[in-house]
Amino acid sequence: MGSGHGMADILAIEGLRKAFGSLVVTSDVSLSMPEGQALGIIGPNGAGKTTLFNLISGALMPDSGRILFAGRDMTRTPAAGRIRAGMGRSFQIPRPFSGLSVYENLLVAAEFGAGEREAEARPHCREILAELSLAPLANAPAGSLRLLDRKRLELARALATRPRLLLLDEIAGGLTEPETADLVEAINRLRSRGVAIVWIEHVVHALMSVVDRLVVMDFGRIIADGPPEPTFNAPLVQKIYMGIEA
């Protein structure tokens, strides 16, 4: 855990538990990560990854445990407050405002998500469009985009809120190999700017080419946590993944 002297972790989760009726989906999950780290979370379906993600982002509230973001207790803060504080997220199913243009989608995220004034939001959003190769599509209706560009727009909308921590949910799903490589390149560029990343992904090779730490979940618990290659290759993890990834 961070010492609290200027070097607080960007994210610290302590004993998070969430149950739906008698089904415990997140069982006493604790982890912390420093500023700028890229952390990948993998695990079979039903492992509790999405629930953990929703607890971190504020879409769900935990039954017990705490969530600290940059040293502040955010356990009961609604999602909008977390975005304002610097937590951005993408959704597994892209959710743009399909009637608005790509550029307008970013402006909405910057102005309502991050509370920016239009004058500062405009140049910032144009930078993001350029960075994610969306500038040629700036005026296209978001609803008309192909899948890769919708995923890029998800990233762009999250970035428009100026996050210190970016939560990525299954963002490589459904993409071809070259498209996945494009997306990985974009995510690596964000990393190099010092944005911390928590990425949940089934496309393990995509994840492995970005993250510097891998957390493996099974049945609502963290069963492994460490450097990506040795963690993924550990016998326990391989046993879980046999027949899923192989």
Rounded to 5 degrees, φ, ψ at 168 are -110, 125
* Range in 94-103, 104-113, 232-241 the model is least confident about: 94-103
Flag whether 160 is in a domain. no
Structure token digits, residue 68: 């600290």
For 192, other C-beta atoms within 10 Å of its C-beta total 9
Tell whether the torsion through CA atoms of 99, 101, 102 and 107 is positive or negative.
Answer: negative
1: enclosing H helix or E strand: none
Q: Which residue matches tokens 């450097």?
A: 227
Q: pLDDT tens across 172-229, in order?
A: 888 999 999 988 998 998 888 889 999 999 889 999 999 999 999 999 999 999 999 9
Q: 240 pLDDT exceeds 60?
A: yes
Flag whether 133 is in a domain. no
How much of the chain, in percent, has pLDDT values that exceed 90? 61
CATH, residue 58: 3.40.50.300
Q: Work out the pLDDT band at 171, boundaries 50, 70, 90.
A: confident
3-state secondary structure 198-215: EEECCCHHHHHCCCCEEE
Tell whether the torsion through CA atoms of 66, 67, 72 and 74 is positive or negative.
Answer: negative
Flag whether 182 is in a domain. no
So what's the pLDDT on residue 5? 44
So what's the pLDDT on residue 193? 83
- What does the alpha-carbon distance between residue 209 and residue 43 come to, in Å, rounded to a whole number? 17
Report how many domains make up the chain: 1
Flag whether 31 is in a domain. yes
Which residues form the domain of 47? 1-84+199-246
So what's the pLDDT on residue 101? 95
- What does the alpha-carbon distance between residue 22 and residue 194 come to, in Å, rounded to a whole number? 40
For 221, other C-beta atoms within 10 Å of its C-beta total 15
Flag whether 171 is in a domain. no
Flag whether 75 is in a domain. yes
pTM: 0.88
So what's the pLDDT on residue 243? 54
Flag whether 190 is in a domain. no
Flag whether 181 is in a domain. no
For 31, other C-beta atoms within 10 Å of its C-beta total 18
